[in-house]
């Protein structure tokens, strides 16, 4: 009965979505303000219904109700509670339900917090949100229903893919989906603006916080996925250019571009046509990402769904929304009024360069991910596109962007003096030079170009700090004045500084681990000692272990530096019960200088155990950098201008677009 | 200077990552040869795996390919000869970095064409914006207001 309640709530949500899609749009066209108000209430109602539906599915998982096909296929009664819960979205049907739940959450948030929006805009935005929701709810109800029952109730479930039974991966999908789906709001605002034929500073200021929130979730979601891959997959890599990683990275790149171009719309009323396009592209890439991962078109760990019926359905949704949005764009965008003029050397110009490079980088990822599929579909030629391609093309496009980042904030609007901006960065340049020299003087072995990479990271960090120092007049005014100015800085300014600084921190980590990683692979018997990066690793032996739903071999290692034991590491090889699938749990000890990473291999042919140990210098900075970017986004979101100072639109009616 | 710096950074970026899945018994005695083997193996796909290079994979086939590369190198093959040999045996699918050829033109040039197209778009729009005066026509109310002010 409870299951049927959830199922019924899902169907009701579909009906509400249809209503939310049609009625507010009609009301907005007629200018009927009373009727427009149903948009907000239906968005909230839809959210509540989906909450109920999702809660019921979760309940089925927690109580291991194997009469539900989906629970039987993806759960197991011996699983720890946390993985029973995360199992809800660890499968195709459940994750799609989570997807629409988050979509409804964002719609409800627009309905509740968007009271300062003009009624017509709000109604249209919520109507577009309703149409997305309608499409995906239809998809769930017709071909991915999680509430289907089994006639014969099995005694035990088939279990969750063991690789997904991990704390980071339990919260990775909700974060990532919040990012993907959050971009739908920017998309809906863009469509609504195209329908209204009006884009102005107020529009940009409304769109930006939603994009920022989505971007923050994407940032931390991607970082968490990368962190998980690092410690779980057992070979110490942190980014593999896997199609599913790319699927989340493309919307991130475009969302980053959108965040920057929306500033230009807000401050200077320029780049409007371009910004609308980015808003459409960002969510389109989210949809494509969902399609790639959900349709099973790629064979990869994440692509659980193999049913072509679903793939075709999502492809249809994809074509409808992306095609429709781009057609509307082609029709309406030319009529949007051109904005303020600016010289190429200006803040606007810098942001255009940022946008071009980010978009081209996203294109490189896009082409690299989809080209093999397209080529195979056209003439059957099978090629692989792997890390060497992405590192080359993406690197070529992103390196100049990174070098230019500190210049952007130094430029003034409309017309800037490039030489003056450069002069203001002399301190940052000195710090970057010093950072370049550190590895050279310390005579660290490795690629001779690596020090330049370290210099680039330092340049980004110092560049953002110098900009902040300039704003608060550090060393130019008394310290108390600077402190007062710091407190008075708008959240957006501090947010930008932190976000750019986070990129620099991440670059340091990427360069260090790429250039100076050390590794060793040896067969070890208990008592054997091996050395890596100045640390002595002793293999103490291995023993069997039985977990709740797996059996494992646990290897114990002690780590010594300078004749002092600094850590006792355990590293496991696990075999999960229902599927006999092996996974690794690596042992990691973090020094200040980097991670010591020990993974158990197979049994060595001559007795003993193959052990792989790595020293990953500064690798943690990659994720610390992401967290700094996330915090920067959060502080920017707190900016009170978003809440109280939203500019009033000109009182006059919009000029018709035709 | 800047160009050289960029090029330098680029090479840092694309420099091959160290070997990962290699088992102790596979390693060649000659360190120079072993380094070449490692450099090569990140460029080959483990054909039975999901998107892994033979450098990353623990699969038996990946091990066979790693040993094959070492065999060829020991026999005196150049890097390119090893690549050609593997491609002739397993097809182009084995390469993680597709060759630059007519069927991969879009792949290799696409991103840069898009960058140039974007640049052209921006320049064209700037021209258009400059020729079209940045004046918004008066709305009805504003026109009335103006008329009221101008009336003697």
Is B139 in Cβ contact with A655 (below 8 Å)?
A: yes
Q: Minimal Cα–Cα distance from A379 to chain B, Å? A: 10
Rounded to 5°, the CA angle A319-A321-A323 comes to 55
Task: Return the minimum-mean-pLDDT range out of A62-76, B91-105, B132-146.
Answer: B132-146
pLDDT at A286: 92
Q: Which of A242, A359, A604 sits opposite B118 (nearest CB)?
A: A359
Which chain B positions have a beta carbon within 8 Å of A340's beta carbon? Answer: 134
ipTM strictly over 0.90?
no
Is B18 in Cβ contact with A237 (below 8 Å)?
A: no
Q: Minimal Cα–Cα distance from A489 to chain B, Å? A: 33
Q: Is the pLDDT of residue A341 over 60?
A: yes
Over residues A515-540, the mean pLDDT reads: 85
- Chain A: residue whose CA lies nearest to B137: A655
pLDDT at A131: 95
Helices and strands in chain B: count of H runs, count of E runs: 6, 0
Task: Return the minimum-mean-pLDDT range out of A333-337, A433-437, A585-589, A636-640.
Answer: A333-337
Q: Minimal Cα–Cα distance from B117 to chain A, Å? A: 9
Which chain B positions have a beta carbon within 8 Å of A452's beta carbon? Answer: 5, 8-9, 12
Residue B1 pLDDT level (bands cut at 50, 70, 90)? very low
pLDDT at A349: 87
The answer to whether the CB of A70 falls within 8 A of the CB of A94 is yes
Is A360 in Cβ contact with B115 (below 8 Å)?
A: yes
Q: Is the pLDDT of residue B125 over 60?
A: yes
Q: Which of A382, A388, A399 sits opposite B96 (nearest CB)?
A: A388
pLDDT at A309: 74
pLDDT at A563: 81
Per-residue pLDDT tens over the stretch A423-466: 888 888 899 898 888 888 877 777 778 889 899 999 999 999 98
**DSSP for A73-108, written as a single string:** HH--TTS-HHHHHHGGGSSHHHHHHHHHHHHHHHHH
Q: Minimal Cα–Cα distance from A33 to chain B, Å? A: 23
Helix (H, G, I), strand (E, B) or coil at A563: coil
Kindly state the percentage of chain A with pLDDT values over 70.
94
Q: How far is CA A110 from CA A127, A198, A216, A642, in A?
A: 11, 19, 17, 14
Is A352 in Cβ contact with B122 (below 8 Å)?
A: yes
Q: Dihedrals φ, ψ of A566, to 5°?
A: -100, -20
Q: Is the pLDDT of residue A653 over 60?
A: no
pLDDT at A627: 95
pLDDT at A578: 66
- CA–CA separation, A393 vs B14, rounded Å? 10
- CA–CA separation, A263 vs A413, rounded Å? 11
Mutate which: B17, B86, B124, vs A, most A CBs within 10 A? B17
| Residue A11 exposed, middle or buried by CB count within 10 Å (0-12, 13-18, 19+) | middle
Name every residue whose Cβ is closer than 8 Å to that of residue B91 and which is 6 or more positions away in sequence.
Answer: A382
- CA–CA separation, A278 vs A538, rounded Å? 54
Q: Is the pLDDT of residue A506 over 80?
A: yes
Total residues belonging to chain B = 152
Q: Which residue has the higher pLDDT, A42 or A443?
A: A42
Q: Which residue has the higher pLDDT, A372 or A500?
A: A500
Over residues A274-289, the mean pLDDT reads: 92
Indicate the Cα dihedral angle B83, A514, A351, A196, nearest 10°: 70
Over residues A605-629, the mean pLDDT reads: 88
Instruction: Please provide the distance, in angstroms rounded to a whole number, between the alpha carbons at the two ends of chain B.
Output: 67
Taking alpha carbons only, the member of B102, B56, B57 closest to residue A383 is B102
pLDDT at A271: 83
Mutate which: B7, B9, B55, vs A, most A CBs within 10 A? B9
- CA–CA separation, A340 vs A468, rounded Å? 27
Name every residue whose Cβ is closer than 8 Å to that of residue B115 and which is 6 or more positions away in sequence.
Answer: A356, A357, A359, A360, A363, A397
Q: Which of A235, A389, A610 sits opposite B20 (nearest CB)?
A: A235
- Chain B: residue whose CA lies nearest to A274: B122
Name every residue whose Cβ is closer than 8 Å to that of residue A418 and which is 6 or more positions away in sequence.
Answer: A345, A407, A411
Q: Is the pLDDT of residue A331 over 80?
A: yes
How big is the A-B interface in CB pairs under 8 Å?
180
Residue A279 pLDDT level (bands cut at 50, 70, 90)? very high
Is B130 in Cβ contact with A521 (below 8 Å)?
A: no
Residue B44 pLDDT level (bands cut at 50, 70, 90)? confident
Q: Minimal Cα–Cα distance from A440 to chain B, Å? A: 15
Is A456 in Cβ contact with B50 (below 8 Å)?
A: no
- CA–CA separation, B2 vs A455, rounded Å? 13
Q: Dihedrals φ, ψ of A227, to 5°?
A: -65, -45
Q: Which of B2, B19, B103 sits opposite A381 (nearest CB)?
A: B103
- Please provide the average confidence, as pLDDT, over all residues in chain A: 86
Is A299 in Cβ contact with B23 (below 8 Å)?
A: no
Other Cβ atoms less than 10 A from the Cβ of A163: the count is 18
Largest Cα–Cα separation, chain A = 84
Is A403 in Cβ contact with B6 (below 8 Å)?
A: yes
Q: Is the pLDDT of residue B3 over 70?
A: no
Q: Which residue has the higher pLDDT, A582 or A111?
A: A111
Over residues A155-183, the mean pLDDT reads: 84
| Residue A644 exposed, middle or buried by CB count within 10 Å (0-12, 13-18, 19+) | exposed
The answer to whether the CB of A144 falls within 8 A of the CB of A310 is yes
Q: Is the pLDDT of residue A9 over 80?
A: yes
Task: Return the minimum-mean-pLDDT range out of A12-21, A256-265, A305-314, A487-496.
Answer: A305-314
Residue A475 pLDDT level (bands cut at 50, 70, 90)? confident
Task: Return the minimum-mean-pLDDT range out of A140-154, A237-251, A551-565, B123-137.
Answer: B123-137
Helix (H, G, I), strand (E, B) or coil at A297: coil
Q: Is the pLDDT of residue B142 over 90?
A: no
Q: Which residue has the higher pLDDT, A143 or B32?
A: A143
Which residues sit opposite A402 in a β-bridge?
none
- Chain B: residue whose CA lies nearest to A334: B125
- CA–CA separation, A363 vs A96, rounded Å? 26
Q: Minimal Cα–Cα distance from B72 to chain A, Å? A: 22
Kindly state the percentage of chain A with pLDDT values over 90.
36
- CA–CA separation, A521 vs B22, rounded Å? 7
Q: Which residue has the higher pLDDT, B20 or A322?
A: A322
- CA–CA separation, A549 vs A603, rounded Å? 23
The answer to whether the CB of A215 falls within 8 A of the CB of A633 is yes
- Report how far Cα A122 is from the mean position of its chain's Cα atoms: 27
**pTM as predicted:** 0.88
Residue A302, CA atoms < 13 Å, CB-side half-sphere: 22
- Report how far Cα A555 is from the mean position of its chain's Cα atoms: 34
Q: Minimal Cα–Cα distance from A150 to chain B, Å? A: 32
pLDDT at A138: 95
Q: Minimal Cα–Cα distance from A397 to chain B, Å? A: 8
The answer to whether the CB of A469 falls within 8 A of the CB of A475 is yes
Q: Which pair of tokens denotes residue A120? A: 């017509």
Largest Cα–Cα separation, chain B = 101
Other Cβ atoms less than 10 A from the Cβ of A384: the count is 21
Over residues A271-282, the mean pLDDT reads: 90
Strands laid side by side in the A594-603 sheet: A518-524, A609-617, A594-603, A587-590
The answer to whether the CB of A418 falls within 8 A of the CB of B128 is no
Over residues A192-206, the mean pLDDT reads: 87
Q: Is the pLDDT of residue A193 over 60?
A: yes
pLDDT at A191: 94
pLDDT at A160: 75
Residue A615, CA atoms < 13 Å, CB-side half-sphere: 18
The answer to whether the CB of A225 falls within 8 A of the CB of A293 is no
The answer to whether the CB of A588 falls within 8 A of the CB of A565 is no
Other Cβ atoms less than 10 A from the Cβ of A204: the count is 25
Q: Is the pLDDT of residue B19 over 50?
A: no
Over residues A28-56, the mean pLDDT reads: 92
A117-121, A278-282, A347-351, A530-534, range with greatest mean pLDDT? A278-282
What are the helix (H) ranges across A197-271? 201-232, 243-268
Is A456 in Cβ contact with B9 (below 8 Å)?
A: yes
- CA–CA separation, A43 vs A105, rounded Å? 8
Q: Is the pLDDT of residue A657 over 60?
A: no
Helix (H, G, I), strand (E, B) or coil at A298: coil
Is A393 in Cβ contact with B24 (below 8 Å)?
A: no
Other Cβ atoms less than 10 A from the Cβ of A142: the count is 12
Which chain A positions have a beta carbon within 8 Å of B104's beta carbon? Answer: 371, 383
Is A386 in Cβ contact with B96 (below 8 Å)?
A: yes
| Residue A599 exposed, middle or buried by CB count within 10 Å (0-12, 13-18, 19+) | buried
- Chain A: residue whose CA lies nearest to B99: A383
Is A517 in Cβ contact with B111 (below 8 Å)?
A: no
- CA–CA separation, A259 vs A355, rounded Å? 10
- Report how far Cα A289 is from the mean position of its chain's Cα atoms: 11
- Chain B: residue whose CA lies nearest to A336: B136
């Amino acid at each position: 009965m409870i299951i049927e309640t959830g199922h019924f709530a899902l169907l009701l949500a579909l009906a509400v979505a249809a209503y939310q899609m049609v009625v507010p749009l009609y009301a907005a066209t007629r200018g009927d303000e009373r009727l427009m108000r149903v948009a907000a209430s239906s968005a909230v109602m839809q959210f509540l219904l989906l909450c109920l539906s999702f809660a019921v599915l979760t309940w089925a998982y927690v109580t291991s109700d194997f009469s539900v096909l989906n629970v039987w296929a993806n759960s197991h009664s011996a699983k720890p509670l946390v993985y029973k819960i995360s199992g809800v979205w660890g499968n195709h049907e459940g994750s799609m339900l989570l997807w629409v739940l988050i979509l409804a959450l964002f719609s409800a948030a627009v309905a509740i917090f968007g009271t300062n929006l003009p009624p017509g805009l709000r109604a249209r935005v919520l109507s577009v949100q309703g149409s997305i929701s309608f499409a995906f709810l239809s998809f769930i109800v017709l071909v991915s229903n999680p509430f289907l029952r089994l006639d014969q109730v099995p005694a035990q479930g088939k279990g969750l893919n063991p690789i997904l039974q991990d704390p980071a991966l339990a919260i990775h999908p909700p974060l990532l989906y919040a990012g993907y789906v959050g971009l739908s709001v920017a998309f809906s605002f863009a469509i609504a603006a195209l329908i209204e034929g009006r884009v102005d500073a107020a529009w940009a200021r409304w769109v930006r916080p939603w994009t920022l929130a989505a971007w923050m979730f994407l940032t931390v979601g991607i970082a968490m996925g990368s962190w998980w891959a690092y410690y779980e997959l057992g070979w110490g890599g942190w980014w593999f250019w896997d199609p599913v990683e790319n699927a989340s990275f493309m919307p991130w790149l475009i969302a980053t571009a959108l965040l920057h171009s929306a500033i230009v719309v807000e401050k200077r009323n320029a780049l409007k046509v371009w910004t609308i396009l980015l808003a459409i592209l960002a969510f389109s890439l989210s949809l494509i990402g969902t399609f790639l991962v959900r349709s099973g078109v790629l064979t990869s760990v994440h692509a659980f769904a193999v049913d072509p019926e679903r793939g075709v359905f999502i492809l249809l949704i994809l074509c409808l929304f992306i095609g429709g949005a781009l057609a509307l764009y082609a029709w309406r965008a030319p009529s949007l009024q051109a904005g303020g003029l600016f010289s190429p050397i200006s803040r606007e110009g810098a942001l255009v360069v940022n946008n071009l490079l980010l978009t081209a980088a996203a294109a490189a990822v896009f082409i690299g991910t989809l080209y093999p599929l397209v080529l195979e579909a056209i003439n059957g030629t099978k090629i692989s596109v792997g890390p060497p391609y992405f590192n080359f093309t993406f690197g070529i496009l992103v390196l100049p962007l990174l070098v230019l980042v500190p210049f952007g904030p130094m430029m003034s609007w409309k017309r800037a003096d490039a030489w003056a901006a450069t002069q203001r960065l002399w301190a940052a340049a000195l710090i970057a030079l010093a950072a370049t020299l550190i590895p050279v003087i310390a005579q660290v072995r490795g690629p001779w170009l690596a020090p330049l990479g370290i210099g680039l990271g330092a340049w980004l960090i110092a560049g953002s700090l110098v900009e902040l120092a300039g704003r608060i007049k550090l060393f130019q005014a008394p310290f108390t004045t600077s402190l007062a100015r710091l407190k008075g800085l708008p959240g957006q300014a501090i947010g930008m500084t932190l976000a750019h600084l986070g990129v620099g921190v991440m670059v340091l980590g990427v360069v260090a681990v790429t250039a100076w990683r050390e590794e060793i692979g040896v067969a070890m018997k208990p008592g054997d000692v091996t050395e890596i990066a100045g640390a002595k690793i002793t293999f103490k032996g291995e023993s069997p272990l039985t977990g709740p739903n797996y059996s494992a071999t646990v290897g114990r290692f002690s780590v010594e530096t300078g004749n002092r034991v600094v850590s006792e590491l355990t590293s496991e090889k696990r075999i999960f019960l229902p599927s006999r699938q092996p996974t690794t749990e690596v042992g990691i000890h973090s020094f200040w200088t980097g991670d010591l990473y020990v993974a158990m291999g197979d049994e060595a042919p001559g007795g003993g155990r193959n052990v792989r140990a790595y020293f990953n210098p500064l690798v943690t900075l990659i994720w610390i950098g992401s967290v700094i970017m996330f915090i920067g986004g959060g502080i920017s979101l707190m900016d009170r201008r978003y809440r109280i100072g939203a500019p009033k639109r000109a009182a006059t009616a919009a000029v018709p677009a035709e | 200077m800047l160009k050289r710096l960029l090029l330098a950074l680029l090479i840092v970026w694309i420099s091959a990552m160290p070997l990962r899945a290699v088992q102790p018994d596979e390693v060649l005695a000659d360190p120079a040869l072993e380094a070449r083997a490692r450099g090569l193996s990140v460029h080959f796909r483990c054909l039975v795996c999901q998107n892994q290079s033979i450098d990353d994979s623990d699969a038996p086939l990946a091990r066979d390919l790693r040993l094959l590369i070492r065999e060829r190198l020991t026999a005196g093959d150049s890097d390119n000869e090893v690549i050609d040999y593997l491609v002739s045996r397993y097809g182009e699918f084995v390469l993680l970095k597709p060759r630059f050829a007519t069927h991969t033109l879009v792949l290799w040039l696409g991103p840069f064409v898009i960058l140039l197209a974007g640049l052209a778009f921006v320049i064209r729009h700037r021209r258009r914006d400059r020729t079209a005066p940045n004046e918004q026509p008066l709305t009805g109310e504003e026109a009335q207001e103006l008329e009221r002010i101008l009336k003697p």
